[in-house]
Amino acid sequence: MGRRKNQWLCADLLMGILIGKGLFLTITGKLYEGDWQKGFRHGFGVLSKKLPNGIFSLEYRGDWVRGKPEGAGWRYFDNGDVYFGFWKRGYRDGYGKMWYSDGTLYVGYWERNKKHGLGMFVQINGNRYEGNWEDDLRHGLGRFYHMHTGQLQEGCWVRGVCVRSKMSDIIIRQFCDLPTEYPIPMETLRNSRKILEESEVWLKQRIGEVDNNLKHCIDKM
């Protein structure tokens, strides 16, 4: 049997190099339909993959630069996740939205396929985090809305862990699924600022034992 080869289904060629518009089917079953430049996918195009039943399933639709997704585009993942937003050199990079197959949602900024910068993550039960991200983790100032109990948590996160925060009731607390039995009382402590400054985290900051990112975060609060 002869060796299988990539197939040009329909293409414009210039001295053997694909230009303009064309269809290209690879030996792995990937079908590209769209713009080409100097032999690269370049411009607008659609990439599909062939399933065992012979049907082609959409994988990516959007902008390309020299063979990789770059610009705006839709990406359809095998597990059911869907992304729409900006790309750079084949990575999710810039502003975008990700609809996860488990029902959660992220809207915000990305860097090399990871949540990075300002963004909002909404859980299935309606709880959501709004704030800073780094390396796919909550990191920096943020707000977490506990919509099932009707409370708002505002504070500082480091590598996905909230290290300092304050809690307050949201205005619709009594209409939530599992509202707290009693509202959070108003602050009545005297010298509350002094008590805070004597806390362990604050003291560590003063003697230089706190990570610089955390120190910057605390100073902003």
pLDDT for 101-147, tens place per residue? Answer: 999 999 999 999 999 999 999 999 889 999 999 999 999 889 999 88
| Segments forming the whole domain that contains residue 3 | 1-76
- 85-110 confidence digits (pLDDT tens): 999 999 999 999 999 999 999 999 99
Q: Which two tokens stand for residue 212?
A: 């610089």
Is 189 part of a structural domain of the chain?
no
Please determine, for residue 4, whether its predicted confidence score (pLDDT) is greater than 50. Answer: no
Is 219 part of a structural domain of the chain?
no
Q: Within a 10 A sphere around the Cβ of 177, how many other Cβ atoms? A: 10
Is 11 part of a structural domain of the chain?
yes
- 165-181 confidence digits (pLDDT tens): 888 877 766 666 666 76
- 28-59 confidence digits (pLDDT tens): 899 999 999 888 999 999 999 999 998 999 99
Q: Name the β-bridge partners of 84.
A: 74, 97
Is 18 part of a structural domain of the chain?
yes
Is 218 part of a structural domain of the chain?
no
Q: Which two tokens stand for residue 186?
A: 């108003």
Is 42 part of a structural domain of the chain?
yes
Structural domain tally of the chain? Answer: 1
pTM passes above 0.85:
no
The amino acid sitting at 219 is D
